[in-house]
């Protein structure tokens, strides 16, 4: 009995241990499966946002490949790795990788299966293992059954390239447009933008660069709306290569540089090298061969592109162009041939045609006309996808070859074809149009596109219109409230500014009035001293005459001094009476002259009252005109640079001699300081730069004084 119990315990213990082990294993598998799914989702996100981070995710998936146990997880990893290999044009690794896994991959998820079917078409095309057109059609049929717009859009993209590989441009373009239509319906703006890029690439594939630019600009607009730096960088790169084909080297270089600047943090080595390749061609075309060599050396130091067919072909082509620019024809031919090997693997007939054409040009330079003819014929063989310009160049080259080998009839025939094509061609117009489109961003075309897009999806948006309408109303109300608030703030600001300005003006006027009230007693005090002196030194009759003249002068001063401005004519009258009074005092021992511009008086120019009187008084008192032989004072008023200039000159003893007298040492000219302050107040009020300057009338001898006053020119 004990023995049975013991065995039962052992069996139970083993069962529990095994159950716990399998439970732990199951949990680990679930966690691992979740990690693979997360990495797959992140790969799709970064594929359209940041290629550097996408590469990090792919590296993580590669590391997980040997650790996963479930076939479904392994299939997801294989799918992501194969997509990366074909996108980087690494055909060698793609062939071996997909060949070993293609029959094993199965996906229940519709999106994963759509990606897999796209890979099948590409593999069948490059390696001729199956009917890729049939695979694409089956994919499209099944995608329509799923009724998922994203998958249908992807199926049409795949179908568009299947038709392109068959050299059926019209069918290819139609499928590309349908892909865009279903991308719109999917409400994925990123998918929509990429479908536009697909349309552009299809048109570029068939040499229709003008139409391709239109689509690339639409792609750029969508990328800008998404604020997606990666897509913006790719759009600029695409436009750069289009402009390069149109021989707009400067425009192409600008687009390449902008793509590098925008995509510096999210472009992988493949796309960065593509930009370097484009920049090399720009530098070669501009004659900057040294710069082109430096970029080539930088590229060759990279190891990641060694298995990349496209980059190897392009870099060899760029080196060949550099050799041709240096007239090293044989070296250039060898490099063009290396490019051809890679482009043949890619089945890129357009690039093959260009390579053969460039080889023909080099052979003509070497006078190897038979080989040159064969190269041109190979280029013509691949001319189905050449641009009109490159295709027509072939006939020009043939004409040159036939002419050089004395085959006049054939030369004439080729030249005739060339001229007919040139006459009927719109190459130059297309090049101009491409440049204009690239520079102006096709505003009108984009507006038409947006309108057509809006009309095509109007029915699908009907359910959302009410919500959008409500949001619009709320937004408009917010805008109106904000505008009213801003308007109120502007009115408040302007009102405050107006009040402040009025206050400043009142302050200036009060300051002017205060100075005038300070100046009037000062002038009267000096004048009364003159009268006292005159009474003591003359007879009563002469003193009475003096007082009568002085009373008229004082009446004019007292009547006009409270004013901010008086007519220039009145200022002249006051000065004349004042100077006559002083002449009576000093018994005509000096002369004076008033020279006021008649036009200013006629136009009723205005001047601050008594602005010149302090300097006239100083000229007489401190200049001691009555002691100087032929003493004279001149006062002039004229217009200068839209300002009123008043000059007071005397030939008195001068400032240096006057400073030595006891009188000037004990007396500070308060009136002069007040005049300076009056001018400063006028400057602040009228936003001018009036000033007062005092200098010697005769700088050599130091005799006499010259006072210059600049005032705002104001008319009544």
**What are the tens digits of pLDDT across the range 233-272?**
999 999 998 888 878 888 888 889 999 999 889 998 888 8
If pLDDT is split at 50, 70 and 90, which confidence band does 159 have?
A: very high
Q: What would the mean pLDDT of 631-642 be, rounded to a whole number?
A: 90
DSSP string, 188-213: -HHHHHHHHHHHHHHHHHTT-HHHHH
If pLDDT is split at 50, 70 and 90, which confidence band does 14 have?
A: low
Contacts of residue 108, defined as CB under 8 A and 6 or more positions apart, other chains included, come to none
- Between 537 and 646, name the one with better pLDDT: 646
Residue indicated by tokens 């159950």: 19
180-189, 520-529, 581-590: which has the highest mean pLDDT?
180-189
Alpha helices in 91-228 (DSSP H): 91-101, 110-127, 132-146, 149-165, 169-185, 189-205, 209-226
If pLDDT is split at 50, 70 and 90, which confidence band does 515 have?
A: very low
Among 353, 357, 395, which residue's Cα sits nearest to residue 207?
A: 353
For residue 13, with 0-12 CB atoms within 10 Å meaning exposed, 13-18 middle and 19 or more buried, which class applies?
Answer: exposed
Beta bridge mates, 636:
595, 647
Q: What would the mean pLDDT of 657-667 be, rounded to a whole number?
A: 58
Query: pLDDT tens-digit profile of 473-504?
Result: 777 888 888 888 888 888 888 887 776 666 56
Count other Cβ atoms within 10 Å, centred on residue 567: 18
Q: What is the pLDDT of residue 499?
A: 67
If pLDDT is split at 50, 70 and 90, which confidence band does 448 have?
A: very low
Domain ranges for the chain, please list them: 1-106, 557-715
Asked whether residue 519 carries a pLDDT value surpassing 50, the answer given is: no
Query: pLDDT tens-digit profile of 379-402?
Result: 888 765 555 556 778 888 888 888
Dihedral sign computed on CA atoms, order 124, 128, 134, 136? positive
- Round the average pLDDT of the chain to a whole number and report it: 80
Among 615, 524, 604, which residue's Cα sits nearest to residue 566?
A: 604
Q: Give the number of residues written for the chain.
A: 716
- Between 466 and 334, name the one with better pLDDT: 334
Residue 548 token pair? 């009568």
Contacts of residue 137, defined as CB under 8 A and 6 or more positions apart, other chains included, come to 159, 162
Asked whether residue 684 carries a pLDDT value surpassing 60, the answer given is: yes
Asked whether residue 699 carries a pLDDT value surpassing 90, the answer given is: no
Alpha helices in 538-589 (DSSP H): 540-560, 568-585
If pLDDT is split at 50, 70 and 90, which confidence band does 279 have?
A: very high
Out of 134-138, 522-526, 664-668, least confident range: 664-668
Q: What is the pLDDT of residue 446?
A: 45
- Between 14 and 406, name the one with better pLDDT: 406
The percent of residues in the chain predicted with pLDDT above 90, rounded, is: 20
Cα-Cα end-to-end distance for the chain: 136
Q: What is the pLDDT of residue 641?
A: 85
Q: What is the pLDDT of residue 457?
A: 61
Q: What share of the chain is helix, strand, coil (3-state, %, to 5)?
A: 75, 5, 20
Query: pLDDT tens-digit profile of 453-472?
Result: 566 566 666 666 777 777 77
- Between 124 and 622, name the one with better pLDDT: 124
Asked whether residue 24 carries a pLDDT value surpassing 60, the answer given is: no
For residue 659, with 0-12 CB atoms within 10 Å meaning exposed, 13-18 middle and 19 or more buried, which class applies?
Answer: exposed
- Between 103 and 610, name the one with better pLDDT: 610
- Between 546 and 689, name the one with better pLDDT: 689
If pLDDT is split at 50, 70 and 90, which confidence band does 197 have?
A: very high
If pLDDT is split at 50, 70 and 90, which confidence band does 345 have?
A: confident
Q: What is the pLDDT of residue 22?
A: 46
Asked whether residue 512 carries a pLDDT value surpassing 60, the answer given is: no
Dihedral sign computed on CA atoms, order 169, 174, 179, 181? positive
Count other Cβ atoms within 10 Å, centred on residue 158: 26
Asked whether residue 546 carries a pLDDT value surpassing 50, the answer given is: yes
Q: What is the pLDDT of residue 172?
A: 93
Query: In angstroms, rounded to a whole number, what is the distance separating the alpha carbons of residues 280 and 269?
Result: 16
Residue indicated by tokens 């080099």: 362
Residue indicated by tokens 């003819």: 373
**CATH of 557-715 given 3.20.20.10, 3.30.70.860, 3.30.479.20, 3.30.565.10:** 3.30.565.10
Out of 206-215, 379-388, 635-644, least confident range: 379-388
Query: pLDDT tens-digit profile of 577-627?
Result: 888 888 877 778 888 999 998 888 888 898 888 888 888 888 887 778 778
Q: What would the mean pLDDT of 32-57 be, rounded to a whole number?
A: 84
Residue indicated by tokens 């199956």: 130
User: Looking at the whole model, is its pTM more than 0.85?
Assistant: no
CB 68 within 8 A of CB 74: yes
Asked whether residue 69 carries a pLDDT value surpassing 90, the answer given is: no
DSSP string, 621-687: HTTTGGGSTT-EEEEEEEEETTEEEEEEEE-SS-HHHHHTSHHHHS---HHHHHHHHHHHHHHHHHT
Among 635, 653, 617, 588, which residue's Cα sits nearest to residue 519?
A: 617
Q: What would the mean pLDDT of 100-124 be, rounded to a whole number?
A: 83
If pLDDT is split at 50, 70 and 90, which confidence band does 128 have?
A: confident
56-65, 312-321, 407-416: which has the highest mean pLDDT?
312-321
């Amino acid at each position: 009995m004990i023995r049975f119990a013991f065995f039962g315990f052992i069996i139970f213990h083993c069962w529990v241990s095994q159950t716990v082990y399998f439970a732990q294993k199951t949990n680990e598998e679930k966690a691992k499966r979740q990690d693979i799914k997360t990495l797959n989702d992140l790969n799709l996100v970064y594929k359209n946002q940041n290629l550097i981070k996408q590469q990090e995710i792919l590296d993580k998936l590669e590391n997980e490949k040997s650790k996963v146990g479930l076939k479904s997880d392994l299939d997801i990893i294989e799918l992501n790795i194969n997509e990366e290999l074909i996108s980087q044009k690494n055909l060698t690794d793609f062939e071996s990788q997909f060949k070993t896994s293609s029959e094993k991959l199965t996906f229940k998820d519709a999106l994963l299966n759509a990606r897999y079917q796209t890979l099948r078409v590409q593999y069948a095309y490059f390696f001729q293992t199956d009917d890729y057109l049939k695979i694409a059609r089956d994919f499209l049929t099944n995608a329509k059954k799923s009724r998922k717009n994203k998958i249908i859009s992807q199926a049409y993209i795949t179908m568009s390239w299947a038709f392109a590989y068959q050299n059926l441009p019209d069918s290819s373009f139609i499928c590309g447009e349908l892909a865009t239509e279903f991308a719109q319906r999917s409400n994925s703006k990123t998918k929509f933008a990429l479908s536009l890029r697909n349309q552009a690439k299809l048109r570029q594939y068939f040499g229709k660069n003008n139409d391709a630019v239109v689509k690339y600009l639409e792609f750029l607009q969508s990328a800008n709306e998404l604020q997606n730096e990666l897509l913006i960088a790719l759009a600029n790169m695409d436009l750069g290569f289009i402009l390069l084909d149109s021989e707009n080297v400067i425009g192409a270089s600008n687009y390449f540089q902008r793509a590098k600047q925008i995509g510096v943090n999210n472009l992988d080595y493949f796309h960065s090298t593509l930009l370097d390749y484009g920049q090399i061609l720009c530098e070669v075309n501009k004659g900057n061969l040294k710069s082109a060599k430096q970029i080539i050396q930088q590229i060759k130091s990279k190891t990641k592109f060694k298995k990349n067919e496209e980059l190897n072909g392009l870099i060899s082509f760029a080196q060949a162009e550099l050799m041709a620019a240096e007239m090293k024809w044989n070296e250039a031919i060898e490099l063009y041939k290396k490019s051809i090997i890679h482009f043949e693997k890619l089945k890129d007939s357009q690039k093959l045609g260009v390579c053969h054409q460039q080889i023909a040009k080099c052979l003509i330079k070497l006078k190897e006309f038979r080989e040159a003819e064969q190269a041109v014929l190979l280029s013509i063989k691949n001319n189905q996808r050449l641009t009109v310009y490159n295709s027509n160049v072939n006939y020009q080259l043939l004409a040159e070859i036939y002419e050089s080998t004395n085959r006049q009839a054939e030369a004439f025939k080729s030249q005739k074809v060339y001229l007919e094509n040139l006459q009927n061609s719109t190459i130059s117009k297309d090049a101009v149009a491409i440049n204009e489109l690239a520079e102006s961003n096709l505003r009108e075309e984009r507006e038409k596109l947006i309108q057509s897009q809006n009309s095509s999806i109007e029915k699908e948006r009907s359910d959302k219109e009410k919500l959008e309408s409500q949001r619009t109303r709320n937004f408009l109300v917010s805008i109106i409230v904000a505008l009213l608030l801003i308007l109120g703030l502007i009115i408040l600001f302007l009102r405050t500014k107006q009040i402040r300005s009025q206050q400043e003006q009142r302050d200036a006027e009060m300051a002017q009035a205060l100075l005038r009230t300070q100046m009037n007693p000062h002038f009267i005090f000096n004048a009364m001293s003159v009268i006292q002196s005159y009474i003591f030194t003359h007879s009563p009759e002469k003193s009475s005459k003096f007082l009568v003249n002085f009373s008229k002068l004082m009446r004019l001063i007292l009547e006009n001094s409270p004013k901010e401005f008086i007519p220039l004519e009145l200022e002249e009258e006051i000065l004349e009476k004042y100077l006559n009074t002083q002449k009576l005092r000093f018994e005509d021992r000096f002369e004076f002259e008033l020279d006021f511009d008649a036009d200013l008086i006629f136009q009723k120019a205005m001047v601050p009252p008594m602005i010149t009187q302090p300097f006239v008084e100083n000229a007489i008192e401190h200049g001691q005109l009555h002691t100087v032989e032929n003493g004279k004072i001149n006062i002039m008023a004229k217009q200068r640079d839209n300002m009123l200039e008043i000059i007071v000159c005397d030939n008195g003893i001068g400032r240096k001699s006057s400073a030595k007298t006891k009188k000037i040492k004990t007396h500070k000219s308060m009136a002069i300081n007040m005049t300076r302050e009056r001018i400063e107040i006028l400057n602040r009020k009228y936003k001018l730069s009036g000033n007062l300057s005092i200098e010697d009338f005769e700088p050599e001898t130091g005799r006499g004084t010259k006072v210059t006053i600049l005032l705002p020119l104001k008319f009544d």
